[in-house]
Chains A and B, each alone.
Chain A
């Protein structure tokens, strides 16, 4: 290696430092740019109608995306209802009952891999499994694909959080003669509650902004789902169900300015919803650790 003068080494150092400072600022600038655009283009269309009315045909004033807001909430809630309990129980297996076994290692490995499977592939899978045999798109299919995306996240978070509980707690409970399942659910879960809740919130935040897995499962709809009775709601959830992200996709790709305007407002809503969930759960995690 040829020796270089102190001066050129200093200059190189300053140049690289400047570059990385600029890169870091650039990253922050991009976040600022995207958020600014969302507020600038979307805030104007956030009015009472937006939250309470159905979408109108292009050119007709005063439509909203109320059905899509309710639909996104319903699809996400249904997904969490399936994904969260299954994921938590799976996590208990990895952290407790199956600890150290080959099977647990294989499941942990496949959970990591499933997290990396593109969400659009999950959408196609649910299409082939549920939509094709049933002969129609449905809110249930949308929920199922979101649940599949949540499952490995919840499994791994639950396992990690349970693993952080001190072993002495378990030994103390075992020494008192408590059965294993009681130790797992009564003691471990209580100790890891906050962490698991944070993980679930993060998983919900992630799937609630997903579009690709809903494109061919819940599709979209310009109408309300029925809510007059439980069976009515259950039946209408078996029909194509409106949701915010696919609505954004359809409206943004359309050539109509008023639809694009509505897409911006919906984007603003979903982004700040997801960011708020993310920040709240991060904050919870930090407070717990700190």
Chain B
């Protein structure tokens, strides 16, 4: 980098023919420099603006209710009770279910794509799974509400209950819509994302490492578990963080299938709500200043969580990239 810029400076000073035009040309350069820097700065300013705007919008609810807003779970706009805890709980639960499923599945699919499938099949299957990421989230919601939730209610949930009896986690009427279904749909939505990154980090591993494992007589699974995964674990963790950020803020698909009930139930079959689904359902109707402010407060909580996750993810990925550069 340094070297290139000195080259450029030389080019400008050496060329004698251009010295006459230099002042005007330089000023044009400065104007354009400022213009493009201004455009780039918008990105930085937007993050601050979003944060400040949500803090401003939610100041009323924090002023009136204080920390009760975060500690209580009752949410009743009619009586003016606003507790973020039930939505926060729903966001956390659906995200945990989604990641618990998406992480092992994406590892398995990446294993299939990298170690097992012939290149042509890997391209087709990999492409199909990547296309899952291009489907708009409202479509997942439609499909989830009209097809996946009934399927859960008729087949999967009764089956689970037959095995677990009245175990609290799986108790209650099998309605289809609820936390579990929302978590599963979320898992399907982050799966393509997570798989793509996992596949790429698997592929970037130097082949000699795998090959030496195979040469020692290890099976494919042993090579994956003892060599590939330990070697690429940083990338997998980075992918997990990025998927976590996606799952936390996913709105439309969750809104369709979570059931939109403000409560904290022990059962995964029970309906609930996430921060994003509460916002999607109620924001346009909120006419009371306190109600609107409470929704802005929910938004602020979600923003702070996703910002933290993103910052950690980016720092982690940056550290990973530098680490790899150092090793090579």
Contacts and interface: CB of A to CB of B under 8 A. Distances in A.
Interface of A: 9-10, 12-13, 16-17, 19-21, 23-28, 30-31, 33-34, 37-38, 41, 86-87, 89-94, 96-100, 103-104, 106-107, 109-114, 116-125, 127-129, 148, 151-152, 155, 167, 171, 174-175, 177, 179-181, 184, 205-206, 209-212, 215-216, 219, 245, 248-249, 252-253, 260, 263-264, 267, 270-271, 274-275, 278-279, 282
A174 B12 contact: yes
Q: Lowest 10 CB-CB distances: which A-B pairs, in order?
A: A118-B249, A209-B136, A13-B219, A90-B40, A20-B108, A89-B39, A93-B36, A93-B40, A212-B251, A181-B32
Contacts of B1: 99-100
A33 B185 CA distance: 13
A20 B112 contact: yes
B142 A264 contact: yes
Given A24-B109, A116-B310, A118-B276, A9 B43 contact: no
Given A31-B131, A175-B11, 9 more contacts: A17-B112, A20-B111, A28-B129, A116-B306, A117-B249, A127-B283, A205-B134, A275-B135, A279-B131
Given A111-B43, A116-B306, A179 B249 contact: no
B288 to A, nearest CB: 14
Contacts of B4: 167, 171
A16 B221 contact: yes
Contact of B42 (A10, A26, A86, A127): A86
Contact of A114 (B47, B57, B105, B250): B47
A116 B246 contact: yes
Given A20-B111, A167-B4, A113 B28 contact: no
Contacts, number: 279
B283 A124 contact: yes
Contacts of A216: 283-284
A37 B111 contact: no
Nearest to A23: B108
22 contacts: A17-B221, A20-B109, A24-B125, A28-B128, A90-B42, A90-B43, A109-B314, A116-B310, A117-B249, A124-B54, A124-B296, A151-B42, A171-B11, A174-B11, A179-B28, A179-B29, A180-B8, A181-B32, A184-B32, A248-B138, A248-B142, A260-B146
A116 B39 CA distance: 20
Nearest to A173: B11
A23 B105 contact: yes
Q: Is the interface of A mostly helix, strand, loop or mixed?
A: helix
A211 B252 contact: yes
Contacts of A90: 36, 39-40, 42-43
Q: Is the interface of B mostly helix, strand, loop or mixed?
A: helix
Contact of B219 (A12, A128, A171, A205): A12
A106 B246 CA distance: 22
Contact of A118 (B109, B139, B248, B296): B248
Interface in B10-63: 11-12, 15, 17-18, 25-26, 28-29, 32-33, 35-37, 39-44, 46-47, 49-50, 53-54, 56-57
